[in-house]
Amino acid sequence: MAISFFLIQIVSAQESELLMETELVASPDVSNPKFNGGDLNKFYEYINQEFNYTTVKEARKIVVSFTVTELGEVKKIKVLEFPNIEAASEIIRVLNKSPQWEPAKRAGKPFSVVIKMPLLFKQK
């Protein structure tokens, strides 16, 4: 089974629910959070390595949201859409053990952001 990802939406916890990643990136004084020194592709690699795929019985989508705090911690994990309780529990487990992130910054000062991430699981 392979995992593929699409539609990454990063929403500032202090701003409108409609603020998308492209708007954050477009602002010269804002930097998105970084995972293990890289972008979200590094985070996908982490999920691919840590996630137990036997919990997903069919090709489906899991939608999660979580906060990357101003300290780089993953908090407030919510599973918004899931194929079964086992897969939901597994993604929570993986996110809970996530290494610390480099937090988002605005004008050089760290701030918390909420990341909403749909993960699409496909059969190989």
Element (H, E) at 93: helix 85-96
Predicted confidence at residue 9, as pLDDT, reads 39
How far does CA 65 lie from the centroid of its chain?
6
Nearest to 70 by CA among 102, 22, 45, 93: 102
Pairing of strands 104-106, 30-31: antiparallel
Predicted confidence at residue 19, as pLDDT, reads 32
Question: What is the DSSP secondary structure assignment for residue 56, as one 8-state letter?
Answer: -
Predicted confidence at residue 27, as pLDDT, reads 64
For the chain, 124 residues long, give each residue's pLDDT as a single digit of tens. Answer: 544 443 333 333 333 332 333 334 456 778 889 998 887 788 888 988 899 888 888 778 888 999 999 999 999 999 998 888 999 999 999 999 999 999 999 888 999 999 888 888 765 4
Predicted confidence at residue 99, as pLDDT, reads 94
- In order of 36, 73, 78, the CA distances from 57 in angstroms are 30, 30, 21
Predicted confidence at residue 40, as pLDDT, reads 79
